[in-house]
Amino acid sequence: MNKATFLHRAAAWLIDQAILSIIYSLAAVAIGAIIGAYADSGIPVPNLIVAPSVIVFSLAPTFGHFLYFGYLWSQRDRSIGMGMMNIRVVKPDGHSLSFLMAGLRGSLGYFLSGLIFGLGYLWFFVDKEQKTWHDKIFNTVVLKQ
């Protein structure tokens, strides 16, 4: 079982974050255009629409990460970035992650690993199994192809 290096994992993560950032930016531009067109119409926007919209828009990246990683990791064992780096994420027995576990690992797990100055990602260098916090929490390994 060949484990992925930190550099391969970091490069895959950066590629995935770039892809997600582009998607979120395009969505923000589209939403901004819709809001701008609506504002230009002269129709007042009720606060009952504005407040929930801000909350939903703030949570969108979390759901986006959940859907992106949940689908790709559960169906292909790799995200787009991981595919480019020839690495994959699986359970220790080699089986694929479920959609729920993959989505939680890519959203909640990444959040927790980055929460305290990225210590969860850097844990890779301390752990004798070369696991990050999100690997430990969700019982996963990242392997070379």
Profile the chain (145 residues) by mean pLDDT over runs of 10 residues: 95 98 90 77 69 78 95 98 98 97 97 96 97 98 96
Q: Are strands 141-144 and 87-90 parallel, antiparallel or unpaired?
A: antiparallel
State the residue range of the domain holding 88. Answer: 6-144
Q: Identify the sign of the CA torsion 43, 44, 49, 55.
A: positive
Count of structural domains within the chain:
1
* Residue 137 · residue 109 · CB < 8 Å: yes
Distance between CA atoms of residues 63 and 103, nearest Å: 9
Rg of the chain in Å (alpha carbons): 18
pTM for the whole thing? 0.89
From residue 72, how far is each of 8, 24, 44, 68, 136 by CA, in Å? 18, 18, 41, 6, 20
In a domain, 1, yes or no: no
pLDDT of 11 reads: 98
Give the per-residue pLDDT at 46: 66
Helix, strand, coil percentages (3-state) for the chain, rounded to 5, are: 70, 5, 25
CA distances from 62 to 22, 27, 70, 127 (A): 15, 14, 12, 27
